[in-house]
Structure 1
Amino acid sequence: MKVKLLFLISVLLTSEGMAQSINRFRDSQTIDAFFQYSPERKRPLILAHRGGPGPADTENSIITFDKTASALPDAILEMDVRMTRDSGYVLLHDATLDRESNAKGAVAERSLAELKSIQLKTLAGELTNQHMPTFADVLAWNQNRYLLSLDVKPGTDPIRVMEVVKKYKAQNAVFVICYSLADAQRVRTTYPKLWLAVGVNSLADLDKFERSDLPKSRLIALTPQKLQPVAFYERLHKLGILSSVGTYGTGQLDEKPMQEAAAGYREIVRQGGDILTTDRPLEVSGLF
């Protein structure tokens, strides 16, 4: 009995020690240092796609974010932000409710109050008693402890989303994924210190990116899932820009047994990938 008690105390102390402090990302210097490119970096940053849910977990939910962050405090938590009919903001990957909840139809056709009452399903399709979080709910939960990656979905204005971020004084705990250089430039004009992620999907894209007027500071490059030549990543690194590589989706590394996929994850990092965007953040982190 005494041994069991000591074990439980040890687990609790370990969990508390791993939790990050409130307002860890309280200023621009902290997030700038987190994303500073260094050729000496040995471990990739881990970005938990949709929060990193397993089959029995819900995606884009506070319970899953908390589970991932408690086990992997330096993980970046990715989430999908969508606007409701009455201009509120909730988290859901799909444009429709069918796959992820017990409701049907488009998110954009429901009010914030209606969506808050909807129950979420796990990845395996099991209904839970968890309700859809609002974006404000997540910011209030986070309290700037962990970095949040905001995939602001088409039809949702990132500048308006940032107004919610400002209310929670969380500008230095988020970065925004932009779907075009024009979108990135628009957001950068309004929020010059905000970190942004932009797609650089080919050598032609890289040429266009380098020639663009978009300032090359505080940027993350979303690069192809297919491994690129070392020179591709080196060109980004010369600009001080980190490369994020997605490993999720049909036929990708996340869908393969870890024993088979491990070498692939490591090869991405050897080639020059800096951030691994993955559906299984804990397991991938354990490879490095």
Structure 2
Amino acid sequence: MKTNIFLLLTLLTASKGMAQLVNRFHDTKTVDAFFKYSSTRKHPLILAHRGGPGSSDTENSITTFDKTAKVLPDAIIEMDVRMTRDSGFVLLHDATLDRESDAKGPVSEKTLAELRKIKLKTLAGELTNQSMPTFTDILNWNKNRYMLALDVKPGTDPLRVMKEVDKHKAVHSVFVICYSFAEAQRVRDKYPTLWLAVGVNSMADLDKLENHPLASGHLIALTPQKLQPATYYERLHKLGILASVGTYGPGQLDEKPMAEAGAGYRDVVKQGGDILTTDRPQEVASLF
């Protein structure tokens, strides 16, 4: 009996660890299967906004990414990539250092060496001993284990960021958030099988997308936080495009108590949302 219990525990542990194997996302087939639209999908994909920090956590940090990924190995880890004065890449949500660290001023005016010396603050504003990670640090940490959503901020060239991704052989474990159809097409021309995400903010945008080369595949639609008519999501799904819905920010579901917001998250998925982009990934994932 004890042997059987030990064997069961070993199998369960191994099964859980499978989602975190190095080079889990190793080729186009693997990432395509991860994002493939299915009308029978039972659970939405969970995208951890800024890594999913709680009030006592730092955002855009390896500490927080690791914490989220260990609990939700299938979560998408979102991060904000910015370029330094000397063309390095670091992670920070804001254009300036003031809110998130013990330094001040624009990220773009600091060198990589200068930024390595600063310490991060938690969401509650408490100073920590955590250093700001470089984008290279993140790729070395991930080792293609988890899917990373790269919000390449305005002023930072996504193609230059992708050169770093290429260097680490990590093209199949990332997708790039683009700020326009034109920017997305520029990246698509260089990386035909790379998954991209772009805003589809209205029916007019959807009309444009349906006749755009981007609609040929490997695309995620960043849709309005306000729920759209069911036909809107149906049109995206007909193209094989997943709909990502953000639930963070003032007045949104993430700001409400879970007991009150639970039905709202389920309504988003029922209406046609495939990816929930949330500040509280663990709690939201537990609803499904």
TM range (shorter): over 0.9
Q: Does 2:108 correspond to 1:108?
A: yes
Give the aligned CA root-mean-square deviation in angstroms.
1.7
Letter paired with 1:162: M
Distance 1:36 1:16, change over 3 A: closer
User: What CA distance in whole angstroms lies between the structure 2 residues aligned with 1:15 and 1:215?
Assistant: 35
Q: Secondary structure in 2 aligned to 1:99?
A: coil
Q: Does 2:214 correspond to 1:214?
A: yes
Q: Deviations over 1:253-272 (max 9, x none)?
A: 00000000000000000000
Superposition deviation, residue 147 in structure 1: 0.1
Q: Secondary structure in 2 aligned to 1:214?
A: helix
Superposition deviation, residue 237 in structure 1: 0.2
Letter paired with 2:107: V
Q: What's 2:23 paired with?
A: 23
Q: Deviations over 1:144-196 (max 9, x none)?
A: 00000000000000000000000110000000001000001100000101000
Q: Secondary structure in 2 aligned to 1:42?
A: coil
Q: What's 2:120 paired with?
A: 120
Q: What's 1:3 paired with?
A: none
Q: What's 2:204 paired with?
A: 204
| Preserved contact between residue 209 and residue 215 of structure 2 (Cα < 8 Å) | no
User: What CA distance in whole angstroms lies between the structure 2 residues aligned with 1:42 and 1:106?
Assistant: 43
User: What CA distance in whole angstroms lies between the structure 2 residues aligned with 1:96 and 1:120?
Assistant: 13
| Preserved contact between residue 52 and residue 64 of structure 2 (Cα < 8 Å) | yes
Superposition deviation, residue 212 in structure 1: 2.0
Q: Does 2:96 correspond to 1:57?
A: no
User: What CA distance in whole angstroms lies between the structure 1 residues aligned with 2:252 and 2:14?
Assistant: 33
What TM-score do you get using the length of structure 2 for normalisation? 0.94
Mean Cα deviation higher: 12-21 or 220-229: 12-21
What TM-score do you get using the length of structure 1 for normalisation? 0.94
User: What CA distance in whole angstroms lies between the structure 2 residues aligned with 1:104 and 1:190?
Assistant: 36
Letter paired with 2:223: T
Distance 1:15 1:28, change over 3 A: closer
Q: What's 1:255 paired with?
A: 255
Q: What's 2:277 paired with?
A: 277
**Which runs of 5 or more residues in structure 2 are unaligned?**
1-5
Q: What's 1:223 paired with?
A: 223
Superposition deviation, residue 18 in structure 1: 6.8
| Preserved contact between residue 19 and residue 74 of structure 2 (Cα < 8 Å) | no
Q: Does 2:98 correspond to 1:98?
A: yes
Letter paired with 1:21: L
Distance 1:38 1:99, change over 3 A: same
Q: Give the aligned length.
A: 280
| Preserved contact between residue 175 and residue 195 of structure 1 (Cα < 8 Å) | yes
Q: Does 2:87 correspond to 1:87?
A: yes
Q: Secondary structure in 2 aligned to 1:206?
A: helix
User: What CA distance in whole angstroms lies between the structure 2 residues aligned with 1:206 and 1:24?
Assistant: 33
| Preserved contact between residue 199 and residue 222 of structure 2 (Cα < 8 Å) | yes
Letter paired with 2:40: E
User: What CA distance in whole angstroms lies between the structure 2 residues aligned with 1:219 and 1:19?
Assistant: 23
Superposition deviation, residue 211 in structure 1: 1.9
Following TM superposition, the consecutive aligned residue runs of length 4 or more in structure 1 with deviations greater than 3 angstroms are 12-19
Identity %: 74
**Which runs of 5 or more residues in structure 1 are unaligned?**
1-5
